[in-house]
Amino acid sequence: MSTTTKSPSDTTHNRIVMPILMPLGILAAIAGFVGLFAFIMLYNTRLGAVALASVMASGILAAMSLAASADTLGPRQKAGVAIAGLAPILFGFGLAVTGGGVDDESLVNINAQPHGPSFDGLPAGHGATVTAGADSGLEFDQTTVTLPAQGEVGINFVNQQAVTHNLFVYASAADFDANGTPIAFTSTFQAGQEAALWTAAGEADLFFICTIHPSTMRGTVALVEGAEASAA
C-alpha cells in the first residue's frame, strides 16, 4: 500500500486555483471576447460587419481544421493557427477603433433598424415626430406635441443616440408616477425609430416620458379637435 504526499502548494493549486480561479478566468475571457466582438460589430458599417463576421468565421474554421489535421503541431503550424484565428479579430478591432472610415454622424445610425410600428399608415396630419438628437444629451428635442383629437394618432420616436430610450404616453404625469397604464408606448431601443400609436377620442392633455430617464425626458401631448399634428 503506497501513499502519496502532497506538498502544500499542490493542495492550494488543486483546491483553489483549479475549481475556482480557472472557471472565473475562463468566464472573464469569454466576457472580454464577447464585448470585443460586440464593439467590432457595432462600430463598423453593416456591410463591414458582415464581411468581418465571414472572415472571422473562415479564420476560425481554418485554424480549427489546421489544428485538427495534425497529431502534433510544430511551431510554424501553431503560429499559423494563431494568425488565422486572431488576425481577422485584430483587423476588425482596428477598423472599429478608427470608425472604419465612417464619420461620426452616420456612425450613430449604423445598424439602426426600424423597431416596430411606423406611423406611415396614419392619415395625413395625424402623426408627429419626436427625436433624441445625436448631440442632445438625455432629453427629447421636442417637448410639446399637438395631435388631432379623433382617430388614429401617433408619435414617431427617432432615437439617434447609442443610448437606450423609449417613449411612453400617459394620461398625466401623476398617472405615470402612480404606475398607471400607458396609453401607448414604444419599445426601449437605441439608434432607431419606432412609433407609439393609439386612437384618440376627444380633446385631452396627455403626457409623454422616457421611462429610462424620467427626470429629464418628458413632454406634453395636446389632443385638439381639427388640429394638424406638430411637435415643437
Q: Which residues bind Cu ion (CB under 5 A)?
A: 165, 210, 212-213, 217
Toward Cu ion, which CB reaches closer, 126 or 165? 165
Minimum distance from residue 139 beta carbon to Cu ion (Å): 8
Toward Cu ion, which CB reaches closer, 58 or 216? 216
Helix (H), strand (E) at residue 152: strand 150-159
Angle at 205 between CA 203 and CA 208, to 5 degrees: 130
3-state class (DSSP) for residue 136: coil
- For residues 113 and 193, what is the distance between their CA atoms, to the nearest angstrom? 7
Minimum distance from residue 120 beta carbon to Cu ion (Å): 24
- For residues 213 and 204, what is the distance between their CA atoms, to the nearest angstrom? 24
- For residues 8 and 200, what is the distance between their CA atoms, to the nearest angstrom? 76
Toward Cu ion, which CB reaches closer, 150 or 190? 190
- For residues 75 and 84, what is the distance between their CA atoms, to the nearest angstrom? 14
Helix (H), strand (E) at residue 147: strand 144-148
8-state DSSP, 100:
G
Minimum distance from residue 141 beta carbon to Cu ion (Å): 12
Toward Cu ion, which CB reaches closer, 115 or 213? 213
Minimum distance from residue 209 beta carbon to Cu ion (Å): 9
Residue in this structure with the C-alpha cell 493549486, named with its chain if needed = 13
Toward Cu ion, which CB reaches closer, 135 or 225? 135
Toward Cu ion, which CB reaches closer, 150 or 164? 164
Contact present, 95 and 40 (Cβ < 8 Å): yes
Minimum distance from residue 217 beta carbon to Cu ion (Å): 5
Minimum distance from residue 92 beta carbon to Cu ion (Å): 30
Minimum distance from residue 191 beta carbon to Cu ion (Å): 13
Beta strands in 168-228, from DSSP E residues, in sequence order: 168-170, 184-185, 192-201, 204-209, 218-224
8-state DSSP, 178:
T
Task: Name the β-bridge partners of 200.
Answer: 151
Toward Cu ion, which CB reaches closer, 45 or 159? 159
